[in-house]
Structures are given as C-alpha cells and as structure tokens.
Amino acid sequence: MIEDMAKKFLASPEGQKMIMNFLMSDEGKKTVMNILSDPKGKTAAISFIKQIIGGLDLPEEKKAIVQTALNVLA
C-alpha cells in the first residue's frame, strides 16, 4: 500500500519535480555520492531507479537510455 502510494507520487509531476530539486541541491548530490560510493548502496540505488523508471513521465527513448546507462553502472 505504501509502495503503491510512493509510486504514484513519484509518477506525478509534483513528485518528479521534488526529486529533481533534491538531486540538484548540494545535499542531494552529496547524498547520491555517498550512496554510490558504497557497493551495496550502488546496487540498491540502481535497483530502485530501475523500478521507478517505468512510472516516470519520460519518452520511451529516454527511458531506454537511462536503462542502458544503469546496466553499464551495475
């Protein structure tokens, strides 16, 4: 139930804007770097992004580019 609510929020324009604002902030960049510097964190982050990418309001070709990049990182 909470997972479904989170997916709906992440798929909404407001949710996507909030995430992008966080990721572009200094705190967001630092958080992402900390997560990706740990092997378990990197695996978890890639898995999470792969799960939500389908729900994002992006053209299919952009989703494919992101998926390819994630596969390279994994």
The pLDDT of residue 47 is 87
In angstroms, the CA 16 to CA 62 distance is: 15
Host domain of residue 18: 2-73
Residue range 52-65: average pLDDT?
A: 84
Across 29-52, b (16+ Cβ under 10 Å) vs e yields eeeeeeeeeeeeeeeebbeeeeee
The pLDDT of residue 57 is 78
pLDDT digits (tens, 9 = 90+) for 3-58: 788 778 877 888 888 888 888 899 988 998 898 899 999 898 888 888 888 777 78
Phi, psi of 59 (to 5 degrees): -60, 150
How many domains are contained in the chain?
1
3-class DSSP state of 56: coil
